Chains A and B, each alone.
Chain A
Amino acid sequence: MRDDEARIVACIPSLRRYARGLTGDPHRADDLVQDTLERAWSRYSRWQRRGDLRAWMFGIMHNRYIDGLRASARRAEDSPPEGLPEVPVRASQADGLEMRDLDRCLQALPPEQRTVLLLIGVEELSYQQTAQALDVPLGTVMSRLSRARERLAALMQGREPVNRLQRVK
């Protein structure tokens, strides 16, 4: 059991990195990590080495994230349709303009594309592990990955406006 605990703790830095990319905000990211860990600790006796631990942890985080999006979508029904993002857009670790730009474009991707892009491109999960974490077929992972990469390229080259976020003047 001690081994499993150590393996869960060892996942935390990459969970934080993934959450930062997913939310684009350090505080929201750590809220998500905290939520995920609490869930993981209360359930890991049931995990019992069935399947890949990282995929399992990222799967928990994905579910918590989606639940959070649904909750904020419900709250958003009461707010103006063209409202500002809840948190100011800002770079996480980045100070260069390019980094800020990348962060902004990343946040402009639809969540399901951002998820796949980060799990595969940054967290180095295999396509199969990604499918397991997101609980979708492998073909869905591949088509989301493909769309995410095309969309990010278009956003970065300015072929497509970043319209989900307000530009700060």
Chain B
Amino acid sequence: MNDPRIRPVPAPGAPIAEADLHAYADGCLPAARRTEVETFLASHPQDRARVETWQAQRRALHALLDPVLDEPLPLRLPLRPPPRRMPWRALAAAAAAAVVSAGAAWLARGELDARRALAAQSQAAAVPHYAQRAAVAYAVYAPDRGRPVEVPGSQEQSLVAWLTRRLGAPVRAPSLGAVGYELVGGRLLPGGAGPVALFMYGAPDGRRLTLYVTREATGGDAAFRFTREGPVNVFYWVEGPFGYALSGAVSREELQRVSQEVYRQLSPG
């Protein structure tokens, strides 16, 4: 509008300019002007060919790029403004502090006392070490926005093959889309005496859950158990050669809902 050659609403009867031809190709001329341009193009085949080329370009570019619109949004894209107090970091710090104090207590009071303390948290039995390690792994990796996993979920097959090879038994990553979580990816971790697999899942709102898979769980008890380490809730159970622990800073009900789906998919038959 600050350029006299451009008339966003061209005056009727004004000579046809190249800007009119582009606006015609882009479908943004008012009806009266469009008719004038059509009349012009009918008697100017060269200009008509140019306009048709531009329209073909538009269609081809849409065909090339429109499929992007249907792709799921990558998890790393922030879908809401960052909260002021960075609760994820606070949460991780709190969980880490809880773990450190538990460790200090263990050193100070000896294993027996520590076991009593842990047993008090879970009335059924002492919380196995792997469930605690699972909570720590969650607290360390889930808040990591930059590199939460070693292998992304897009390479699920190679991730699963790699973890299966390292753990020496067939590991599977359950598919949790139906309960609102997608696989972010996974990594290998040191357990108490050997390798452990960690899968991470994310919800569209940024919440994350981790599934810890270890061969160090003993006792063939397939019961579902619950424990809490600071802000991190954990459901854990033993199935076949593996101990599983699903951890998250989500409500117990939410975690149980997802755990049941994981259990359903990973139990044989």
**Residues of chain A whose beta carbon lies under 8 Å from any beta carbon of chain B:** 5, 9, 12-14, 16-17, 20-21, 30, 33-34, 37-38, 41-42, 44, 92-94, 98-99, 102-103, 106, 117-118, 120-122, 126-128, 137-139, 142, 145-146, 149, 152-153, 156
CB–CB B65/A93 < 8 A: yes
A106 to B58, CA, bound (A): 12
Q: Which of these binds chain A: B75-83, B106-114, B242-250?
A: B75-83
- CB-defined A-B contacts under 8 Å, sample of 13: A13-B68, A20-B65, A30-B76, A34-B76, A41-B82, A92-B64, A92-B68, A93-B65, A128-B8, A138-B1, A142-B6, A149-B53, A153-B53
Which 5 residue pairs across A and B have the least CB separation, nearest first?
A139-B3, A93-B67, A17-B68, A41-B81, A13-B69
Residues of A within 8 Å of B79, CB to CB, are: 9, 12
Contacts A16-B68, A33-B77, A139-B6 aside, 17 further interface pairs with beta carbons under 8 A come to A5-B80, A9-B80, A13-B69, A17-B68, A20-B68, A21-B64, A30-B74, A92-B64, A98-B60, A99-B64, A103-B64, A126-B28, A138-B1, A142-B3, A142-B19, A142-B22, A149-B57
**Residues of chain B whose beta carbon lies under 8 Å from any beta carbon of chain A:** 1-3, 5-6, 8, 18-19, 22-23, 26, 28, 53-54, 57-58, 60-69, 71, 73-74, 76-82
CB–CB B61/A122 < 8 A: yes
> Given the known A-B contacts A102-B60, A139-B5, A145-B22, are A17 and B53 also in contact in the complex, defined by CB atoms under 8 Å?
no
State which of B26, B53, B81 has its C-beta within 8 Å of the C-beta of A44. B81
A-B contact count (CB 8 A): 107
A137 to B6, CA, bound (A): 11
State which of B8, B18, B77 has its C-beta within 8 Å of the C-beta of A127. B8
> Given the known A-B contacts A137-B2, A137-B3, A142-B19, are A21 and B69 also in contact in the complex, defined by CB atoms under 8 Å?
no
A5 to B83, CA, bound (A): 13
Q: Separation in Å of the B54 CB from the closest CB of chain A?
A: 5
A13 to B65, CA, bound (A): 11
A21 to B61, CA, bound (A): 8
A126 to B29, CA, bound (A): 11
